Structure 1
Amino acid sequence: MKKIVIYTDGACSGNPGPGGWGAVLLYGEHRKEISGAEKETTNQRMELTAVIEALKALKREGLDVTVYTDSAYIVNAFKENWIERWQQNGWKNSQKKEVANKDLWQELWHLMQKNRVKIEKVKGHAGDELNEYCDQLARNAILKLKQEK
């Protein structure tokens, strides 16, 4: 079984404000780096976008994928079963309001069905080399976006 490891991170310059995301995909000795930015967004959206874009970058389905993120928002959605409850409640949260970033959560859920995906927490800004690298990819994407103005 092919095992893929993905590290992701998102960043924002202001929240909301210009945002960036970065991801590193690892398979054996292969490594792929991807990143991007948006003019007006939030940190949460960039964290989600990083995972979504990384899963979109996979060329096959049926893979064992482990995603490492420092986003408690994403980790808790799966570890605490928020996402299942949101779906059962018509994408409403516990306050009966529409789930924030519903469009991205739905896209992420759809992409996750194509593979066996595990979401794991990594402590942010704590020296994890690949997490720090993804943070730099995200910040560089923001800088590039600002320079294009």
Structure 2
Amino acid sequence: MLMQVSEMETLTETNIRCIEPELTYLEFLQPSRCRPTYWNNLGSSKNRTAEQQIQARQAINQQLHDINPDAAIAFTDGSCRGNPGPCGAGSCVFLPSGERMELKQPVSKMASILLGELIAIKITLEFIVKEQTKYRIPSLHIFSDSQTVIGILTLGWENKLHIKAVQEVKSIWKASEKGGTTIKLDWSPGHAAIAGNEIADRLAKEAALQLKK
């Protein structure tokens, strides 16, 4: 291989040391592997104090305030009636036009909450890809209440479950960005009276309940 590289340099007069290395999709999707600091002090949905709920709303409101008005914003959530159990996915999407779209999808009669969270992001991205055919959406800011899903998709966390679902999400993510929409994924604390998250939670529960009938 080294001989072939040397021959290529001689024949083409190309200095391979001057060639800019190509970023892989994974590297592009993972600009940082550090946990955002605001994750650390807001508790969990099962033990969050009233003060932490206030701090959570303030943190998300500040992020919303800083988002470009031309961006689409989505809150996603998964719901499981038992873990595992009947599972659903929900997403509340606020388009730049001011229109609000509510998306939901039953996932499986027997699945984990993690799969529901992944599918919620997937249906959001699929919706954006369809909307791209109508008008330009420069950016999409997704808020998920699953730190695990965000870690798997953007921080390089190990994933041994739902590998196919993760691959599908990454594939449609890439398609969204090829269509001209920059994607950002952040954490929104669940069960903290954050309006978008509450709507997504309701939609996910409705989807899960459809599988119990």
TM range (shorter): 0.7 to 0.9
Where in structure 1 do 4 or more consecutive aligned residues deviate above 6 Å? none
Q: State yes or no: 1:69 paired with 2:144.
A: yes
Q: Distance in 2 between matches of 1:39 and 1:111?
A: 24
CA drift of 1:79 comes to: 4.6
Q: What are the within-5 Å matches in structure 2 for residues 110-125 of structure 1?
A: 110-113=171-174, 114-115=176-177, 116-125=182-191
Kindly report the root-mean-square deviation, in angstroms, between the aligned alpha carbons of the 2 structures.
Answer: 1.9
Q: Which residue of 2 aligns with 1:14?
A: 82
CA drift of 1:32 comes to: 0.8
TM-score, reference length from structure 1: 0.81
Q: Distance in 1 between matches of 2:155 and 2:195?
A: 27
Q: Distance in 1 between matches of 2:196 and 2:72?
A: 14
Q: State yes or no: 1:135 paired with 2:201.
A: yes
Unaligned runs of 5+ in 1: 83-92
Q: Distance in 1 between matches of 2:204 and 2:125?
A: 17
Unaligned runs of 5+ in 2: 1-67
State which of 119, 140, 147 in structure 2 corresponds to 1:49.
Answer: 119
TM-score, reference length from structure 2: 0.58
CA drift of 1:77 comes to: 2.2
| Greater RCO, CA 8 A, separation 6+ | 1
Shift in CA distance, 19/106, structure 1 to aligned 2, threshold 3 Å: same
Q: Distance in 1 between matches of 2:154 and 2:109?
A: 31
The C-alpha deviation readout for 1:30-75, integer Å capped at 9, x for no partner, is 1111101121211000000000011101121773111001001112
Question: Higher Cα Rg: structure 1 or 2?
Answer: 2
State which of 82, 94, 103 in structure 2 corresponds to 1:34.
Answer: 103
Q: Which residue of 2 aligns with 1:89?
A: none
